[in-house]
Amino acid sequence: MVPLQWYLMLSAAVFTIGVFGFLTRRNIIIMFMSIELMLNAVNISLVSFSHYLQDLRGQILVFFIITVAAAEAAIGLAIIIALFRNKTTAHVDDMNEMKG
Amino acid sequence: MGVPMQFVMPDLRPLTPEILMTVLSLLVLLSDLVIKRKETIALLSILSVAAVAFTFRDSLGVTFNGMFISDGYSRFFGIIFVLNVILTVLISVKYIGIERVNFGEYYGLILFSTLGMMIMASAGDLIVLYLGLELMALSTYILAGFIRYDVKSNEAAMKYFLLGAFASAFLLYGTSMIYGLTGTTNIKAIAGYILLHGLMGNPALTLAMALFVVAFSFKIAAVPFHMWAPDAYEGAPTSITAFMSVGPKAAGFAVMGRVLLDGLYPIKPEWSAVLIPIAILTMGVGNIVALSQTNIKRMLAYSSIAHAGYALLGVIAGTADGLASVMNYMLIYAFMNIGAFAVIIMLRTEGFKGDNITDYEGLSKTHPLLASLMLVFMFSLTGIPPTAGFMGKFYLFMSAVNAGYTWVVIIAVIFSAISAYFYLRIVMYMYMKDPKQEVAISTSPSMSLALAITLFGVIAIGVLPASVVHLARIAFP
């Protein structure tokens, strides 16, 4: 039986990788993948808490997160495509139409 | 033979406005298929929110085991959201035609976003809060990028989307920590568990609180989590900028009040120690960076950041009076900010952007009525009596002083004085300079109605604030 702490450490590690990926990478698709990583880190910790507490609420929230993440991916990719059509780049440093 | 499962239908009455809103939003979305005149869809969406507002009164109650709370607090915010929709739709009707994005789904998305805000304000559980927040945010991302052919609008949507999604991941991580600690996601039960087990000062709880504050600060655009706001506000269609600067901000404050003052009230010293520096930074950065702006939408974005800083004072006060003054301020802010954006939209005509501050030079000579309206809204945003902006700030600052945060209020008043420079600069441009170019304005009956409503709100609440404040005060138990 793997103790709860291990899952929490895994979750914290994945979440941190996601945060660093988001903050350091400059490609929109990779930044977007980093956000997905953060969401899945949350899912790991929710499921492990849910199992530990023998309470289903955590797993219900996980299902909602997965569904919302799917919707978010659809909208995010649509925005990226709209931007790509006008600008032909997926690099955030090239997005500098507005300054000040 | 097993016992048949018992299924008790939960009481749906507190949910009436939300159910009605869902049905009507879907109808408005579908009506686009049969109705060719987009003005009719605009009218339908206004009628829909008006119908929803009528169901607020009879909907009070708690249902789904405390997951959904319909009380005076959430319904007061509901009125702000409804008002936000009505004013936004009124100022959009002609404008989205000028921007060549006159599509029917525009109104449907506004209604879905508002439904998300209503769910957020009524959330009694962190799961419901998350779902409402995402419904609001996802619809608003699309609206921000609604001018598909415009790179600026795409960029606004992109930045808003990336940082919004980043912030909701923080919210979820905080939720999972709270869940692991207390074994529940119900906001009231969290407070009960913390008190019962003496979790005050528990490092994991403090971390969860910090994650919540980060996520909410993103939503209300508080410094240092405001980076998306200026770009998103400048690039988005102006009508949506008006919508975003009121609705999601008010919804952010609604959940902030619910989570911090209900769920995490036992650790108030800790969260107020985090919020005070955020509030001071927000007021400082917002007001000082606004001084150097040349684009009026961008200037109002920084002003909107600064106003979030003032409103945070009410949350920091942590009293019923403090929260009532936040609610009051959000209502006043809806009137004065959408009014200012309405004037900006009127300067937008075919082939003329009209969003530079220099475009306002000599406006009082070419369009005296419009200039005088802008004057009132700028005075109100500065906080000069007898406008509503003054009363809003007055109640906020009073509540913070009464709660013992006098030094924070002194800093707020200093920053508020600095803000007079950039608001009154517009007034100076309008009244003391000669027009350099002939500026045409786009008028329409709906725009006049929106300006009349906002002007009435700004003056009426400014002269007779007591009734609104009383309403907000009794709304929060």
**ipTM, two decimals:** 0.95
Q: Which amino acid is at A22?
A: F
Confidence class for position B201, pLDDT limits 50, 70, 90? confident
pLDDT of residue B88: 96
pLDDT of residue B47: 96
A22 lies within 8 A of chain B by CB: yes
Residues of B with CB under 8 A from a CB of A: 126-127, 130-131, 134, 138, 141-142, 145, 148-152, 154-159, 161-162, 165-166, 169, 172-173, 175-177, 179-180, 183-185, 230-231, 234-235, 289, 292-295, 298
Coil, strand or helix at A78: helix
Chain A closest CA to B301's CA: distance in Å? 11
pLDDT, tens digit (0-9, with 9 covering 90-100), for B327-357: 999 999 999 999 999 999 998 888 788 888 8
Q: Kindly list the residues from chain B whose CB atom is less than 8 angstroms away from the CB atom of residue A7.
A: none
Asked if A65's CB is within 8 angstroms of B172's CB, the reply is yes
pLDDT of residue B355: 85
- Residues B416, B280: Cα–Cα separation, whole Å: 11
Phi–psi pair at B76, nearest 5 degrees: -65, -45
pLDDT of residue A35: 95
| Percentage of chain B exceeding pLDDT 90 | 78
pLDDT of residue A91: 78
Selected for mutation to probe chain A from B159, B172, B190 (highest A CB count within 10 Å) is: B172
Q: Kindly list the residues from chain B whose CB atom is less than 8 angstroms away from the CB atom of residue A52.
A: 180
pLDDT, tens digit (0-9, with 9 covering 90-100), for B418-450: 999 999 999 999 999 888 887 888 889 999 999
Coil, strand or helix at A95: coil
Chain B closest CA to A19's CA: distance in Å? 8
pLDDT of residue A52: 93
**B477 pLDDT higher than 70:** no
- Average pLDDT across chain B, whole number: 92
Residue with tokens 């997905």: A36
pLDDT of residue B6: 74
Asked if A72's CB is within 8 angstroms of B134's CB, the reply is yes
Chain B closest CA to A84's CA: distance in Å? 9
- Residues B163, A80: Cα–Cα separation, whole Å: 14
Q: Kindly list the residues from chain B whose CB atom is less than 8 angstroms away from the CB atom of residue A79.
A: 141-142, 145, 154, 157-158, 161
Chain A closest CA to B130's CA: distance in Å? 9
B8 or B258, which is more confident = B258
| Percentage of chain B exceeding pLDDT 70 | 99
Chain B closest CA to A47's CA: distance in Å? 9
pLDDT of residue A94: 76
A42 lies within 8 A of chain B by CB: yes
Asked if A53's CB is within 8 angstroms of B183's CB, the reply is yes
Asked if A57's CB is within 8 angstroms of B127's CB, the reply is yes
pLDDT of residue B476: 65
**B1 pLDDT higher than 60:** no
Asked if B173's CB is within 8 angstroms of A38's CB, the reply is yes
Cβ pairs bridging A and B (under 8 Å) = 122
pLDDT, tens digit (0-9, with 9 covering 90-100), for B63-102: 988 899 999 999 999 999 999 999 999 999 999 999 888 8
**B464 pLDDT higher than 90:** no
pLDDT, tens digit (0-9, with 9 covering 90-100), for B116-161: 999 999 999 999 999 999 999 999 999 999 999 999 999 999 999 9
pLDDT of residue A89: 73
HEC-encoded secondary structure of chain B: CCCCCCCCCCCCHHHHHHHHHHHHHHHHHHHHHHCCCHHHHHHHHHHHHHHHHHCCHHHCEEECCCCEEECHHHHHHHHHHHHHHHHHHHHHHHHHHHCCCCCCHHHHHHHHHHHHHHHHHHECEHHHHHHHHHHHHHHHHHHHCCCCCCHHHHHHHHHHHHHHHHHHHHHHHHHHHHHHHHCCCEHHHHHHHHHHHCCCCCHHHHHHHHHHHHHHHHHHCCCCCCCHHHHHHHHCCHHHHHHHHHHHHHHHHHHHHHHHHHHCHHHHHHHHHHHHHHHHHHHHHHHHHHCCCCEHHHHHHHHHHHHHHHHHHHHHHCCHHHHHHHHHHHHHHHHHHHHHHHHHHHCCECCECCCEHHHHCCHHHHCHHHHHHHHHHHHHHHCCCCCHHHHHHHHHHHHHHHCCCHHHHHHHHHHHHHHHHHHHHHHHHHHHCCCCCCCCCCCCHHHHHHHHHHHHHHHHHHHCCHHHHHHHHHHCC
- Average pLDDT across chain A, whole number: 90
pLDDT of residue B386: 87
CATH number assigned to the domain with residue range A4-94, chosen from the 4 options 3.40.190.10, 1.10.760.10, 1.10.287.3510, 3.40.366.30: 1.10.287.3510
A56 lies within 8 A of chain B by CB: no
The predicted model scores a pTM of 0.94
- Residues B272, B278: Cα–Cα separation, whole Å: 10
pLDDT of residue B244: 94
* Packing angle, helices B38-54 and B16-34, rounded to 10: 170
Contacts 24+ apart (CB under 8 A), B351-355: B352/B439, B352/B440, B354/B439, B355/B238, B355/B295, B355/B296, B355/B297
pLDDT of residue B200: 86
Q: Which is it for the CA torsion B61, B64, B69, B75, positive or negative?
A: negative
Chain B closest CA to A1's CA: distance in Å? 19
Selected for mutation to probe chain B from A33, A42, A55, A63 (highest B CB count within 10 Å) is: A42
Per-domain boundaries in chain B: 13-475
Q: Kindly list the residues from chain A whose CB atom is less than 8 angstroms away from the CB atom of residue B172.
A: 39, 42, 65
Q: Which amino acid is at B219?
A: K
pLDDT of residue B470: 82
Asked if A95's CB is within 8 angstroms of B155's CB, the reply is yes
A97 lies within 8 A of chain B by CB: yes
Task: Walk along chain A (100 residues) and give the pLDDT tens digit of each residue.
Answer: 789 999 999 999 999 999 999 999 989 999 999 999 999 999 999 999 999 999 999 999 999 999 999 999 999 999 999 988 888 777 777 777 776 5
